[in-house]
Amino acid sequence: MPTRPPNPNPSLNASKCSRLFQEWVSPFVSKCRKQGTLDVNDLYEPLPDCESATLTNKLEANWFAETKRNPDKPSLIRATLCTMRWKPLLFGLILIPAELLNIIRPLLLTFLMRFFTPCSTMPAWHAWLLAMSIIFVTLCSSAIINYQIYLIDILAMQMRVAYSDQRVKIMSEIIKSMRIVKMYCWEMAFDKKIRHVRRREIIQYMWSLIFDCIQMLFSHTYMNVTFLMMYGTMWWFNIRFDISFFAVASCLLGHMRLTVVEFFNNAVRDLVHYLAAQKRIQTFLLLDESERDNRLLSQSHSELACIEKNDLTIVKSVPTQSPKVVCNVKQAQWDKDGSFCLKNIVFDAHPGDLICIIGPSSLLQTLTGEITIFDGKIRMHGSFCYVPQESWIFSSTIKTNILFGKAYDRNLFRDVVKATALDTDFVQLPNEENTLVGDQGVMLSGGQKARVNMARALYRNADIYLLDDPLSAVDVKVAKHLFQ
């Protein structure tokens, strides 16, 4: 996907007044109104302190510092607060002047009501001054609250982005695994699990909506019930009704309805969601690091990747005659306490070598990193391609199965097809390489699936090929052709 040209964010050079009233967004809104539609190039670049890489690096550094400070019981909340620093407290303090202005407003209204009482001696200019003060206080309070909401939204977005970078990586792994799901026809099994989880989510959403409806009902009836109770009490105890008292009570109760009923309920709900989310994320972060992907394969002819007791090192300036694979495995097994174990396997593989191994599956899985090395080392120089014993064929054309996401090279594709003896099969198929093979390659024989699997590996043009009994499903003639 081509990268869009940089479009600097105008808020970086905006004045304080422009930021307060969000005036710097006006050109963007005007452009949207004139064009009717927006392109990705019209979007501004994110602010430097809102970029995913910056926030994730800060959160990761603070989390590692927290685990060192409190190895027994680290807290993701403390790491998050260290990442956001003083912002949550400062943004909360911004509300103090806004709330004070909301309290001053009904008091000013009380003084203004005295001007309309009979026999009032208040000058008219005092009344006008009070009226203008009420308008000014209302505007200031609204501006402060709106700006505080904007800052809180930015802070919430930064927290989401700081967490979401890891989440995107996890989701990418899940999406990549969908190929395996399709290859093994596991759709129905995963569909049942997804439906079960979705059913529980719908039940949770239903209860959440019920509580939201109760909150809305209470929010709309709060004023009526409160006024009924207040004036009922005043009538019962023969307390004189006063218009100024009514005005003050109306303003204060309306403000209390907004803060106590709505904002407080939303805060409690969001706090519960955050605590649940951070607990899941913290549990995930406290898991033991996976050791199966602790391998580094060099793509350069001057570097050599090394796996040695889970420590990664790169040896520079390796001579060209050095072996491509150096294996010195003293202990490798699926789990540290497992019964199965590979021990004392030592060999070197040089460029051009063909090494045959009896029972190769476990050793090949060790070379690819599927089985963990607990003692020893493996060095691999260059790219590698692994061909499993069981063919992976997914529902698509033969050509798509061979390309497997790589760009189409006509000459390379022709050579690969000829090397795997698929050209004779293409003559018999109705659409040659564009023939659909169905789920798990049901339209192909076992030998054809094995050769498509082999062709996919050859098309990758790797430096090292790890083949797990690729000739078991083909006949003698084809096996001889493939071997030669």
Q: Is the pLDDT of residue 261 over 70?
A: no
Query: 143 and 69, same structural domain?
Result: yes
- C-alpha–C-alpha distance, residues 51 and 409, integer Å: 38
Question: Is 295 part of a structural domain of the chain?
Answer: no
Q: Is-contact 391 447, C-beta < 8 A?
A: no
Q: CATH number, domain at 471?
A: 3.40.50.300
Single-letter amino acid code for the residue at 233: T
pLDDT, one tens digit per residue, over 430-441 is 777 777 776 666
Residue 65 has a pLDDT of 84
Is pLDDT larger for residue 89 or for residue 5? Answer: 89
Query: 215 and 310, same structural domain?
Result: no
Query: 265 and 316, same structural domain?
Result: no
Structure tokens given for 265? 């309920």
Residue 163 has a pLDDT of 57
Question: Is 328 part of a structural domain of the chain?
Answer: yes
Helix axes 76-84, 52-69, angle to 10 degrees: 130
Query: 127 and 57, same structural domain?
Result: yes
Q: Report, as an integer, the average pLDDT of 397-406.
A: 79
Query: 251 and 179, same structural domain?
Result: yes
Residue 294 has a pLDDT of 40
Question: Is 297 part of a structural domain of the chain?
Answer: no
- Enclosing domain of residue 58: 50-285
Q: Is the pLDDT of residue 192 over 50?
A: yes
- C-alpha–C-alpha distance, residues 143 and 141, integer Å: 6
Query: 274 and 177, same structural domain?
Result: yes
Cα dihedral 354, 359, 364, 369, rounded to 10, equals -160
Q: Is the pLDDT of residue 92 over 60?
A: yes
Which residue, 347, 382, 417, sits at the end of a domain?
382
Rg (CA), the chain: 35
Cα dihedral 64, 69, 74, 75, rounded to 10, equals -90
Query: 262 and 170, same structural domain?
Result: yes
Query: 347 and 475, same structural domain?
Result: no
Work out the mean pLDDT of the chain and round it to a whole number: 71
pLDDT, one tens digit per residue, over 135-168 is 888 888 877 777 777 777 777 766 666 555 444 4
Residue 467 has a pLDDT of 77
Question: Is 15 part of a structural domain of the chain?
Answer: yes
DSSP tag of 72: S
Domain count, the chain: 4
Query: 210 and 64, same structural domain?
Result: yes
Residue 282 has a pLDDT of 73
Query: 97 and 241, same structural domain?
Result: yes
Q: Is the pLDDT of residue 174 over 80?
A: no
Is pLDDT larger for residue 166 or for residue 125? Answer: 125
Query: 369 and 399, same structural domain?
Result: no
Query: 378 and 400, same structural domain?
Result: no
Which residue, 257, 285, 313, sits at the end of a domain?
285
